[in-house]
A and B are shown apart, each in its own frame.
Chain A
């Protein structure tokens, strides 16, 4: 049957309903999808949207400053004038960079690197073109800004050490965070991820890193899809690092370093009452500022390959056989145990037989009959071979520990190394050998296994001087809050025993026959009490002894003896203790004692010690030294 119009319109309706159903189904699908996105997944997407929008920018805190004892800054933050460039704004970066190179000095390598960095990062990320600029060149760029699109002059902060090499070993230096640092330290501080951020790499800068660093502020900024900053949403200011005041006197430190110049040496000066270290110097030194700028490989190699090891803090990390400076420890141990009487004498004939070996005194002909005082004054070895055997290694080591040797002193330097006070167990454990009498004998004169750092020897001297367990300190105040140095506890040694030792030390320096008589302080009120030491770095063969060839001057530098000297002054009312070592310097009395004495005079009298402090015979020499400027009082400073 033929369909008429009405039928077809009915067909339209039927098919239209099918269509409508299909469309409603699709609408349903869309609605379901909307529900899924906006209810089920809403939380997730909200977070993503927030992430899109908000960038957190860290505001690096100003690093804490470091001052010396008197408030002279030794580590400061200097404005770092730098030029950054943003590719997006530069238009033609090559052209702009070429123009910039006409204004300031940019090496072709640097230029290439800048371009590479710019193209490898997003177009809106600033790339540093030049840093640590002179104000003049910085100003030149700034005034030419209109011709340099995308070039931004910026002022940041960078570390500067005004005292240059004087505090290098104490304060250390900062440097950019390396991948190695990141792998070594477990520090979640996001600041470390900032490309230009610097952390302490050495010295106090390294040990007091958390205090000095402070904490980052944050700025939450809204960015658009291109990463461009739209506005700052909020900002939390960080906390700048804490300022540290050291116990070190920069004047004395400077003098000490200059006095040691030319030698591989170290000197530690300590206030015996408080334990405050007023000088801690290791020579030769280096300029930490070179590290902040990024040291060149050539300079680095020069520093590293130097035989005198300028990078090494010998004052706290150098451990040496203490030699005769150790004799006080042995003597005191014997006295405390009642194993020796101060008046008792031992005969020194130059050598004694111990077991099947022969032990020699440094003086081939021997000293004759020696009591305690004489033994220290002349630094007789035989006496100590004898009493060391009586006391035994364990008690010697225990006394050494009590006096501060062989223990790691907790001062905020990274490289503090403990010396070594051997015991029977120690030898068995480390060397797998049993302790021999010969070991005890060697230890009795501070040789053999015995090791101590200049810091430890200084502590030892301070403890002998005061009878108290003085603890070394390097930080005087933190953010202006004094770190009170409590008076040290008495060490628990009999005062009369200590008096014998002190008297002997006084004689070492002030008795005409004392080994350090030439390095005395002339003024009786400031009299120094000390002990020389000469420690062997090689074994002297029997053959050498027979032929008598062991003059240090005939040996290559690195096989010569170390020269040591420890002292305190004034004898009557001790104020400072000092320990000096001159590596391979030969005899303690000749190489180390004069340095220690001069430093002590500088410490006691201040910047301009009177000529009278020195023995009359030395006045001409001192005058000459002053004329040459060696003893000038000023602290060398770089321009701030």
Chain B
């Protein structure tokens, strides 16, 4: 007789499964590949190496070299390969590694992928998914740290998603691959290792639907990508001061769910838009303009924008930290808005 056999039976509690952002992306991609034989992945070092950010780990083992293709460092040909293959009925996932590299293949994204359906009179679709890593915070300097969502969101025909956590990384990835349009997934480099609860089964998050990450009555903070986490942290800080912040994560910046934002503005009457990209010409300007067009009468203060200064991303950590908006600046912005009226 031993104590272990006499121990009372414990009902196992289904602990929510935590997964890192990058593994959540990887799982969503693998499930989408299992779901549809037409999905393949092409990019630089995606197959043998698994991607420089480990985004494609283990996929070569499961899917083999037919569906996991290492290509030369040739982004224009890589995206073009995806456009041609998509035009012929496949669902390519092409990886651009760092978002900064889109400059060398922008023609294929902007003039080919985005416009083909329209210019061809609707004769075909381009179900192309482009994955890339954006954002500062890794000391990668000005050519490896940008957030260029405004460039892409400006182009009719493209969709752009910015997952803020592991759960959305998986769901938006699945939806992007299932979508019949060219979609760019901007994975945030700083978030790659961050863990969150992620269901094991395959699921999609609708493109073009914003998510209210936190409900509040005093200020609406519309935050893109990694700024969602910073806004939630700012909201915790402000809650201690008795201020309730509503945090809206658009999840998809093109198409942009303005209705959810407008509804929030009608409740809070104050808006702060925050993104990691340079403020000038950024999406904050677009969102602010749309709010003023549609719900101006509900505003108790002008829409406030927070973004990066008009500078390339600096290298030195002290400069980079000053460059990227953070919870403190968001909290300060909310206080400023509340001081008005």
Please indicate whether A and B come from the same complex rather than being unrelated chains. no
- Chain B residues at the A interface, C-beta cutoff of 8 Å: none
- Chain A residues at the B interface, C-beta cutoff of 8 Å: none
